[in-house]
Each structure stands twice: as structure tokens, then as C-alpha cells.
């Protein structure tokens, strides 16, 4: 039986994706887990693999076209096998709507009907659109009345809404033009900004705005801050890096990730998500590492990080960061905890917003040399770093949050415990 090739979601709240390119043509043989096409979501590019051995029977969504997440974009099966296309009836209806209605006179009667319908549409106050078109427009926050319909009597089809999304809304003279399909989105950096100008948000910025607004409105955050003595961690890092090549060099952030993975293992209550009135304690520890790009923030995920050594974390993090900067990700696995490190940006401390459905995020500041009072009352110069845990008060309380962040602190202040 033929298997569907599914448009991946590629992140929470993602509703659609665009097929960038097909690596196989219809009729080509494919192997299970072979990359068959690439798709682009609002934040990254993903490689989609074949679910089985067989033949690419049908490309349902051509390169450059948009499809809903979890919908079929292609089919793989045995050569000659018949397939039943997803939403076949709707496809037939759309095809019927797209067929010109011409008489022997050569006049396009369909076009005349659409013009009349458009003129009367405003009078009646009712927009003629298919159910699927309305659903897609609603998901994308589009006023369906401004979409031009190509169906009979000006009826708006799902394909009309997709075409509108790909084209982008008209932009006034005081705004920058919307990016074309497949084009690089402009980076909202200080250098690119023009005083007095209004510009549309990039796709990544739209996702960030939507998700973080949702997080702050629906999650009761509380915050716990600790100061970590990083003197021994820095010495341990220098010792490790003196014996390895550049690709295996460990960063301080890698040590924070390792310490957090150990702490999540000791405190599984933090490695959870909320499902209605239930707390779901997650089996895997998957830590997202926030990466800043020119046009926003992405969070590639280190999967099952508790099974990785410090060296393994360093190597995998470099791979994920390089992919993220190239606009790609190699995993659809959701994170269970996130670390946002702004230490390289000369920041003393900050608080981060939780990335739902996770229940906590760790904000890491810069390492500073400070004079501290030792236990023997002497003054010493030590390397210190601030960390702030943002936690969901529905899942955690202050005591648990304090114990958890202090467990991370213990690991960093006793760096030999990170080497196991």
C-alpha cells in the first residue's frame, strides 16, 4: 500500500510549509530514509525522507508550492500501484472551478460572471469561498474578502488563498516590498532600518512575536537567579581544549548544557510539559540552544543530550549552529528545556521567556572578574557568571526551581563531575 510523504510541522504553531525542491522525479526508485525533498517552514529548512522502499508514485505538491502541515505532499509505493489522493474530491472541484466557461462566440463567459459576482458581492455583504479556503485564511490571519477568487461567480478557492500567501499582500509606498517566494528575507538589523520607515516583519520575527506573546499571556512565569563561580570551569575547559582539535573544543556553553542535562536527570519534575490538568514527565532530555540570526532567533535541539559526553555535546552543537545559520535544521524533535546564552554579548544578566510547551528556560550572562570574600575572609578575584531560571509556576514552585538551578551551579563549580 502506498505511503504518504507528509509535510512536517517543524515547530510548535507552524501551520504550513513550502516545498523547496524535489530530489526525485515521479517514477524514480527511492530507499527508506533517503532524502526525497526539502521543505521550508517559517523558521528553517528540513529534509524529508522516504518512509519506505519503493517508487515515487506521485508528487502532489510541486516545488515552490505551499501545503498544510501533516498533509500529503507526495506518495511512495510499488511501481504501478494505484493511489487515492488526499482531498481528491476537493482537487477535482478546484480543477472544475479553474476551467474556463467559453461559448462558441469566443467570449469568456466565466470572466463576465466573475465580474458581475464581484460587483454584487459587496452589495450582499457575503464572500463566496470554499470551506478549505476559509480555514486556510483563518489560520494565516488573512481577511478572505481581499483575496481574488478564480472560481465560478468569483468563488474563492484554497488555491486562491495559497496564491495570495505566496504573492504577499500589497505594500504601500511608505513600506518596503514584501519578500518574494523563495527570496531571502531582509534582516531587521540596525543598519537595514531606516528612520521613519514601516517594514513588514520577516517570517521568523512573526513566529517569535506570536509564540512569545502566547507564552507571556498564558504562562505564569517566576524567576530564580544565582551567581556561579566559573573559575574552576574555565581552568577545566582550558585543560580539555589543549588536547583536542578545533572541531572538538569545548565552550563554556557546552559545559552549561552538560550541567543542565545532569540536573534535568536529577529533577525530572522540570523536564515536563502541561497537558490540560496533567503534568507529563518526559522520557527524553532534549535541550534547545538558542541561536541568534540576523532576522531572529532559532532554537536547534540537542536530542537525548544526557547520553552525550561533553565532547559529543561540543561537536553536535557546532553542527546544529552551522545548520541554523544556513537556515536549516536536521531534527523535528521538540525540545524539553532551553538554554539562552548571551554571555558573548557583554550582558551581566537577563530573563528569558519560556518556549512552550516547555516549562522552563535558563538565561546565561557574561563571565565577569569580581572580588569576592572567601570563607577565610580573604579577598579573591574570581570569574563569576549570572544565571536566571524562568519557570512555569503551574508546573514548578520556588523551592523546586531553586534546587534545580543550584544543581546546575554545583556542576559548573565542580567541573570534573561533567566529564563522566
- Report the catalytic residues: 393, 397
∠ CA 114-117-120, rounded to 5°: 155
Whether 67 and 7 have beta carbons less than 8 Å apart is answered as yes
Torsion angle in degrees (nearest 10) through CA of 349, 239, 289, 36: 160
Instruction: Spell out the residues 6+ positions from residue 117 whose beta carbon is closer than 8 angstroms to its own.
Output: 128, 153, 154, 155
Pick the closest to residue 17 from 55, 49, 61, 59 (CA basis). 61
Pairing of strands 35-40, 221-229: unpaired
Pick the closest to residue 296 from 222, 210, 357, 220 (CA basis). 210
CA dist., res. 352 & res. 56, Å (int): 45
Cell of 319: 553542527
Whether 75 and 50 have beta carbons less than 8 Å apart is answered as no
Pick the closest to residue 235 from 418, 69, 52 (CA basis). 418
Amino acid at each position: 500500500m502506498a505511503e504518504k510523504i507528509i509535510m512536517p510541522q517543524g515547530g510548535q504553531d507552524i501551520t504550513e510549509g513550502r516545498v523547496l525542491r524535489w530530489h526525485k522525479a515521479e517514477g524514480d526508485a527511492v530507499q527508506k530514509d533517503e532524502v526525497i525533498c526539502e521543505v521550508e517552514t517559517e523558521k528553517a529548512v528540513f529534509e524529508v525522507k522516504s518512509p519506505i522502499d519503493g517508487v515515487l508514485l506521485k508528487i502532489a505538491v510541486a516545488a515552490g508550492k505551499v501545503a498544510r502541515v501533516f498533509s500529503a505532499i507526495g506518495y511512495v509505493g510499488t511501481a504501478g500501484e494505484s493511489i487515492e489522493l488526499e482531498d481528491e474530491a476537493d482537487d477535482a472541484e478546484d480543477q472544475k472551478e479553474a476551467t474556463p466557461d467559453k461559448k462558441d462566440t469566443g467570449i469568456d463567459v466565466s470572466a463576465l460572471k466573475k465580474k458581475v459576482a464581484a460587483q454584487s458581492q459587496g452589495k450582499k455583504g457575503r464572500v463566496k469561498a470554499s470551506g478549505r479556503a476559509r480555514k486556510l485564511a483563518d489560520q494565516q490571519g488573512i481577511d478572505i474578502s481581499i483575496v481574488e477568487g478564480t472560481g465560478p461567480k468569483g468563488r474563492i478557492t484554497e488555491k486562491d488563498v495559497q496564491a495570495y500567501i505566496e504573492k504577499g499582500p500589497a505594500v504601500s509606498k511608505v513600506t518596503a516590498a514584501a519578500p518574494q517566494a523563495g527570496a531571502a528575507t531582509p534582516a531587521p538589523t540596525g543598519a537595514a532600518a531606516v528612520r521613519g520607515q514601516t517594514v513588514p516583519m520577516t517570517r521568523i520575527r512573526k513566529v517569535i512575536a506570536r509564540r512569545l506573546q502566547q507564552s507571556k499571556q498564558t504562562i505564569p512565569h517566576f524567576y530564580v537567579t544565582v551567581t556561579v563561580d566559573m573559575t574552576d570551569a574555565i581552568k577545566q575547559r582550558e585543560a580539555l581544549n589543549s588536547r583536542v582539535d578545533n572541531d572538538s573544543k569545548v565552550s563554556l556553553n557546552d559545559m552549561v548544557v552538560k550541567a543542565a542535562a545532569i540536573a534535568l536527570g536529577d529533577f525530572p519534575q522540570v523536564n515536563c510539559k502541561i497537558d490540560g490538568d496533567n503534568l507529563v514527565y518526559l522520557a527524553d532530555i532534549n535541550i534547545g540552544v538558542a541561536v541568534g540570526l540576523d532576522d531572529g532567533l532559532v532554537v536547534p535541539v540537542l536530542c537525548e543530550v544526557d547520553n552525550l559526553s561533553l565532547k559529543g555535546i561540543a561537536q553536535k552543537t557546532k553542527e546544529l549552529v552551522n545548520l541554523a545559520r544556513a537556515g536549516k535544521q536536521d531534527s523535528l524533535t521538540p525540545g524539553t528545556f532551553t538554554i539562552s546564552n548571551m554571555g558573548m554579548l557583554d550582558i551581566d544578566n537577563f530573563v528569558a521567556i519560556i518556549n512552550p510547551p516547555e516549562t522552563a528556560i535558563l538565561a546565561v550572562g557574561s563571565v565577569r572578574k569580581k572580588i569576592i570574600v572567601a570563607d577565610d575572609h580573604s579577598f579573591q578575584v574570581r570569574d563569576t557568571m549570572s544565571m536566571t531560571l524562568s519557570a512555569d509556576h503551574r508546573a514548578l514552585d520556588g523551592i523546586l526551581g531553586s534546587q534545580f538551578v543550584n544543581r546546575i551551579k554545583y556542576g559548573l563549580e565542580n567541573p570534573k563531575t561533567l566529564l563522566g
